[in-house]
Amino acid sequence: MNIPPYPRPSSVNDVVHFRTPTVEDGLLFCELNEEQEEQNTTQFLNHIQNLDKQGGKLNDSLYWTGEDRRTALWWIFIATQELPTAAVSYECEHCKEEHYLDVNLAELANTATAVKALPKSEITCFIAGEQVSKIKVQPLNGAACEHIETLRNIRDQYAYQSIEWRKADTEMTLTELVHCLTFPNQPSDQDEALNWKLERIKGMALDTEFRTLYAQVESELRTMRHGIMTQYKDGRFLLVSNQKNCSAAVEAGEDQSKLLLLPFRHNDFIPTL
């Protein structure tokens, strides 16, 4: 079972070659930890590349967008599974029962989009009254996703909604935002740049400057949608799938189809023994 060459959805001329996962690969990834999903994703997507077909060069998935990475896991999964289905359940508000569905993940190809290059995006905003322009907006890459995952793990050491938890949660939200921004005059060192940007964002007026920036970034990122349809929430990617709605829900006036968010657990997608 060969995996077709994978054109990265954010940059389709960049084609990645994967080899078919072996028993040995399965052994290597036998201890997957849900808390380190993004970290494991980087390791897996790098490990499984067919370097011979790439002129000996690794195409480091750490620098792919989060969507390119998730779509790659899905790509490998549907190419290597005879029945690429995922069991999903949800609690129906109408029957008050749990509904079980087998979602054919190959169908998610309908939701996929790919581009030659992501649209360039620059925004202008106000920081503590000062106008700053030419701030580039870009989607999260693998390194950023790994970082946010680490921050979520730190946050979740605290009791849910405690002061410490909420502080860490805010830090996580702000970090996610600044990972999407490149300022024209930010320090060249990555870590320094991150702290520099965080300090600037923390100095913004909350109700005006910050909320405007947040909305601007969200709207710019929407123009850059690529890969299969996913939703990034709380440091995790979820798959968005359109499914037949329950008959009781349709009778109650809902649509024939229902949008379901499927957990995109890496242990379902990375083959293990």
Distance CA(150)–CA(162), nearest Å, equals 19
Question: Within positions 75 to 134, which residues make up the interface with Zn ion, using CB under 5 A?
Answer: 92, 94-95
252 scored as a contact of Zn ion (CB under 5 A): no
Of 17 and 94, the one with the shorter C-beta distance to Zn ion is: 94
Q: Which residues contact 108 (CB under 8 A, 6 or more apart)?
A: 74, 228, 229, 239, 241
Among the listed ranges 125-133, 195-203, 220-228, 241-249, the one in contact with Zn ion (CB under 5 A) is 241-249
Bridge partners (DSSP) of residue 233 are 236
248 scored as a contact of Zn ion (CB under 5 A): yes
Total binding residues toward Zn ion, as defined by CB under 5 A: 5
Minimum distance from residue 17 beta carbon to Zn ion (Å): 44
Minimum distance from residue 240 beta carbon to Zn ion (Å): 20
Minimum distance from residue 93 beta carbon to Zn ion (Å): 8
Distance CA(262)–CA(236), nearest Å, equals 11
Among the listed ranges 120-128, 197-205, 239-247, 250-258, the one in contact with Zn ion (CB under 5 A) is 239-247
Cα 269 to Cα 3, 22, 205: the distances in Å are 14, 14, 42
Angle at 122 between CA 111 and CA 214, to 5 degrees: 70
- Burial letters for 203-235: b for 16+ Cβ neighbours within 10 Å, e otherwise? ebeeeebbeebbebbeebbeebbbbbbbebeeb
Minimum distance from residue 135 beta carbon to Zn ion (Å): 46
Of 103 and 228, the one with the shorter C-beta distance to Zn ion is: 103
The site for Zn ion (CB under 5 A) is made up of 92, 94-95, 246, 248
